[in-house]
Structure 1
Amino acid sequence: MKTLTITLPDNLDIEEFEAKMLFAGQLYQRGKVTLGQAADIVGISKRAFMEIMGRFGFSIFNYSVEDLKHELGNV
């Protein structure tokens, strides 16, 4: 794994866990990492990551509109 160091302003009221969840959630939603990789970034199990995602505004379902239309066409 790569290591990333980010310098944040002192007045930013964010905990390390929250920052990792937001970062990993974005990467997952953009299709850059798998669900398991996102969980690894945060340092929690895949199940825990899936359970917590909604609190941070992320969906476990990572489908584009085109993918959904294609799947509905196959039904």
Structure 2
Amino acid sequence: MKVITLNIPDTTDIDDKEAAMLLASSLYERGKLSLGQAADLAGLSKTTFAELLGSYNVSIFNYPADDLINDIKNA
């Protein structure tokens, strides 16, 4: 696992847990991490992470629209 050190300005209202959740939800949304990997990064269970995704405007259904359209055509 990679270790990254970030310097976040004191003027931001973000603590370590919030920063981890922001990064994890973004990487999950982009398809770079699975739900389990993102939950681990955020230090949460998969269930808790999935429940919190909506608070970050991230859908738990990480399925590309193009794939969905192809599935509908093939059905």
Q: Tell me, yes or no, whether TM beats 0.5.
A: yes
Gaps of 5+ in 2: none
Please name the residue that 1:6 is paired with.
6
Please name the residue that 1:51 is paired with.
51
Q: How many aligned positions are there?
A: 75
Q: Does 1:38 align with 2:41?
A: no
- Give the RMSD, CA atoms, in angstroms: 1.0
* CA distance in structure 2 between the partners assigned to 1:4 and 1:32 by the alignment: 17
Please name the residue that 1:72 is paired with.
72
* CA distance in structure 1 between the partners assigned to 2:34 and 2:44 by the alignment: 14
Q: Give the secondary structure class of the aligned counterpart of 2:63.
A: coil
* CA distance in structure 2 between the partners assigned to 1:59 and 1:4 by the alignment: 26
- Runs of 4+ in structure 1 deviating by more than 4 angstroms, as ranges, are none
CA apart distance, 1:74: 2.5
Amino acid across the alignment from 1:11? T
* CA distance in structure 1 between the partners assigned to 2:10 and 2:55 by the alignment: 24
* CA distance in structure 2 between the partners assigned to 1:56 and 1:43 by the alignment: 16
Gaps of 5+ in 1: none
